[in-house]
Amino acid sequence: MTEQDPTATPADVDTTETDETPEIAAAMAADALVPLDVEVAPQPKSAPDDREQRGPFDVAEVTGVRPYIDLGGVKVLPRADLHLRLEVEEATKRVVAVGLEYHGTTLQVQPFAAPRSSGLWHDIREQIMEQLRKQGAKAKPANGPFGPEIFAEIPVNQDGQQGWRLARFIGVDGPRWFLRGVIAGKGATDAEAANEVEELFRSIVVVRGTSPMPPRDLIPLSMPATASAAAQRPAAGA
């Protein structure tokens, strides 16, 4: 296994834009099931007991200087073999998710605004399972290191053949934010790969900001400025 490199820079990360995946499309469709003007009964927060110590972190909980990649609503700590992509909603061209590919596993993350004293994951889980089933997927509740999650088998078309893509939907409620993740590839079923991607999820820092936002609004995501500049510079020695 390649050793993680905590001194890597954003230029070491492959940053590209792609269309949203079926998992993110289903989750976004589930978000739309509850209109923003409808009041939802408060639910308790769902997070591991050690979240403040092990993550995912709020930006106010991070001390010291580390070379995070700034993606707006989240910061990602670069490491060797990590490839990053931004998933874009076709209709609006806005960035709707950050995709992290690591050792055969894909982790897609989305940060949302949330109430100060209550959580979102308990409500959103049911809506995601409902939306997945409407799309022909098999979805069932499960438990993992972050608490309740969803295990899904999502139908996909591969070279004209019907197949299934396995995925885990995970979520953590933080201070005034909710972080949702979708794990696909090896980390959905293999224990060692799952441990790796779960640590990657824990290392993410959420930047909620101070501006008022309705609960369930996606915290804006953006391309890292340093990566954009690096893409325009000629290679050293060219």
Closest to 221 (Cα-Cα) out of 101, 106, 120, 94: 94
pLDDT in tens, 8-19: 444 344 455 666
Q: Where does 107-224 have alpha helices with state H?
A: 121-134, 191-202
Model pLDDT, residue 39: 54
DSSP structure string for 55-89: SSEEGGG--S----EE-BSEEE---TTEEEEEEE-
Beta bridge partners of 146: none
Question: Which pLDDT band holds residue 72 (cuts at 50, 70, 90)?
Answer: very high
pLDDT in tens, 31-71: 655 544 445 567 899 999 999 999 999 999 998 778 899 99
Could you give the CA distance from residue 115 to residue 81 in angstroms, rounded to a whole number? 36
With tokens 């070279």, the residue in question is: 159
pLDDT in tens, 132-163: 999 899 999 999 999 999 999 999 887 888 88
CA dihedral sign of residues 208, 209, 215, 219: negative
Could you give the CA distance from residue 233 to residue 47 in angstroms, rounded to a whole number? 42
pLDDT in tens, 202-227: 999 999 999 999 999 999 999 887 54
Model pLDDT, residue 23: 74
The residue with greater pLDDT, 128 or 233, is 128
Give the least confident one: 91-95, 178-182, 233-237.
233-237
Could you give the CA distance from residue 195 to residue 173 in angstroms, rounded to a whole number? 20
Could you give the CA distance from residue 120 to residue 96 in angstroms, rounded to a whole number? 18
With tokens 């993680």, the residue in question is: 4
The residue with greater pLDDT, 90 or 235, is 90
Radius of gyration over alpha carbons of the chain, in Å?
17
**Is the peptide bond prior to 56 cis by the omega test (within 30 degrees of 0)?**
yes
Side chain identity at residue 82, one-letter code: L
What is the residue-averaged pLDDT of the chain? 83
